[in-house]
């Protein structure tokens, strides 16, 4: 174990919805340059935990420290601080082009307001040009360079998942949260995603990934935490966790595996928020 303070430290994070405790006192740390897996049966509270980290939910109890500072429960501030995420059910801006999606990801790294947009001054134009260049570079990085001008909704399913990663990376995060990035993918696409996550780490971005595909987790992760019914069951090296009988039991003894089927359709965005 290294002695540098972790990039992310969640301690005692608890999220209650009325009588239901979806996340119950979870501690988790992610260090720089680490890929950490978060596994557990459906309904275990993994996505809710992500929502607590990114400010979409305000945790009932507990604290989240990022780079030594408390993360405010405001999504915009979290993104600016350097945490980006993808969604379990793809949430792209369906009627914007792939390039525009990524440029929106740069929102917190750009400044232009209404007046500078109207004036179109040199500073504004430079910022726009840079955004465009960075976005193109990211599209190339995830392998979508040739589809920059297609609308997100007309991309293939796998491409949509990769576009979500590119959009998240556009905010220049130090930590990327991936929520089931290979759900609904075929083995080849899964292998490509594995490669992509590795090269994300090579860019100096730490990754916390929720995933059901055990092979993916075992190949990729430095450490794995297991969440069962809102509580952290165990945490350790992938081999140890896989051998842990309690983990196997939790998965096998979870008849509610079908409870939250991963939507396959790329067009599952909600119309009304």
Partner 1 sequence: MIPKTSTPAARALVVCGAALSLVSPFLAWTWTSRYPGNLTVYGYPGGSQLLTLAGALLAAVFTAAVLGVPGLRALAPAGAVRALRAASLAALTATWITVGAIAVDLGGVVNVEPGGWLAAGAVLLLAAGAHALPDDTVTEPPPAARLPRAAEGALITVVFLAAMYVLTYGITTDSAQDFLAFLPAAGFGVRALAAAGLTARFGALTARNRIAVAVAALASALVFPFTQTGDQYTAIADNILVFAAVALGLNIVVGLVGLLDLGYVAFLGTGAYTAALVSGSTFSTFDIGPWPFWATALLGMGVSLVAGLVIGAPTLRLHGDYLAIVTLGFGEIFRITVNNLDGTSGPRLTNGPNGINSVPNLTVFGFDLGTRHTLLGVTFGRFANYYLLLLAVIAVIVFVYARAGNSRIGRAWIALREDEKAATAMGIEGFRYKLLAFGLGASLAGLAGTVMAHLQTNAVPENYKFADTAPPNSAFLLAAVVLGGMGTVSGPLVGAALLYLIPAKFAFFSQYQMMLFGLALILMMRFRPEGLVPDRRHRLEFHDEQVAAAEARRTAAEATA
Ligand X SMILES: Nc1ncnc2c1ncn2[C@@H]1O[C@H](COP(=O)(O)OP(=O)(O)O)[C@@H](O)[C@H]1O
Q: Where are the alpha helices (DSSP H) in 142-237?
A: 157-169, 187-202, 214-220
Nearer to partner 1, 131 or 193 (CB): 131
Contact status, residue 168 vs residue 85, Cβ threshold 8 Å: yes
- Count of H helices and E strands in the chain? 10, 10
Per-residue burial over 206-245, b if 16 or more Cβ lie within 10 Å, else e, is bbbbbbbbeebbeebbbbbbbbbbbbbbebeebeebeebe
Nearer to ligand X, 121 or 263 (CB): 263
Asked if residue 183 binds ligand X (CB under 6 A), the reply is no
Q: How many residues bind ligand X (CB under 6 A)?
A: 12
Asked if residue 67 binds partner 1 (CB under 8 A), the reply is no
Token readout for 169 is 């990376």
Write out the binding residues for partner 1, residues 81-140 only, by CB under 8 A.
84-85, 87, 91-96, 100, 103-105, 107-108, 110, 112-114, 117-118, 120, 124, 127-128, 131
Asked if residue 195 binds ligand X (CB under 6 A), the reply is no
CA Rg, the chain, in Å? 19
Token readout for 152 is 């997100």
Asked if residue 48 binds partner 1 (CB under 8 A), the reply is no
Q: Which does 201 bind (CB under 5 to 8 A by kind): ligand X, Mg ion, partner 1, none?
A: none
Asked if residue 256 binds ligand X (CB under 6 A), the reply is no
Asked if residue 58 binds partner 1 (CB under 8 A), the reply is no
> Quick one: which of 25, 29, 33, 42 contacts ligand X (CB under 6 A)?
42
Binding-site ranges for ligand X (CB under 6 A): 17, 20, 22, 40, 42-48, 260
């Amino acid at each position: 174990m290294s002695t540098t303070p972790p990039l992310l430290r969640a301690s005692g994070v608890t999220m209650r919805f009325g009588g239901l405790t979806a996340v119950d006192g979870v501690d988790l740390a992610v260090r720089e340059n680490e890929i950490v897996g978060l596994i557990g049966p459906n309904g275990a509270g993994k996505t809710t935990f992500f929502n607590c980290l990114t400010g979409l939910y305000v945790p009932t109890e507990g604290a989240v420290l990022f780079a030594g500072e408390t993360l405010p429960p405001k999504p915009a501030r979290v993104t600016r601080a350097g945490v980006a995420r993808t969604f379990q059910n793809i949430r792209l801006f369906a009627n914007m082009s792939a390039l525009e999606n990524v440029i929106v990801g740069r929102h917190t790294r750009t400044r232009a307001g209404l007046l500078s947009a109207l004036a179109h001054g040199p500073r504004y134009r430079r910022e726009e040009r840079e955004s465009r260049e960075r976005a193109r570079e990211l599209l190339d990085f995830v392998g979508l360079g040739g589809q920059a001008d297609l609308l997100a909704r007309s991309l293939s399913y796998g491409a949509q998942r990769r576009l979500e990663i590119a959009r998240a990376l556009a905010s220049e995060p130090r930590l990327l949260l991936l929520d089931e990035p290979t759900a609904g993918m075929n083995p080849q696409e899964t292998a490509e995603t594995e490669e992509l996550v590795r090269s994300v780490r090579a860019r100096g971005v730490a990754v916390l990934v929720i995933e059901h595909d055990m092979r993916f987790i075992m190949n990729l992760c430095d450490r794995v935490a297991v969440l069962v019914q809102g509580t952290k069951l165990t945490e350790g090296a992938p081999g140890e966790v896989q051998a842990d009988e309690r983990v196997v039991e939790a998965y096998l003894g979870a008849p509610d595996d079908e409870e939250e089927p991963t939507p396959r359709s790329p067009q599952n965005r909600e119309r009304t928020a």
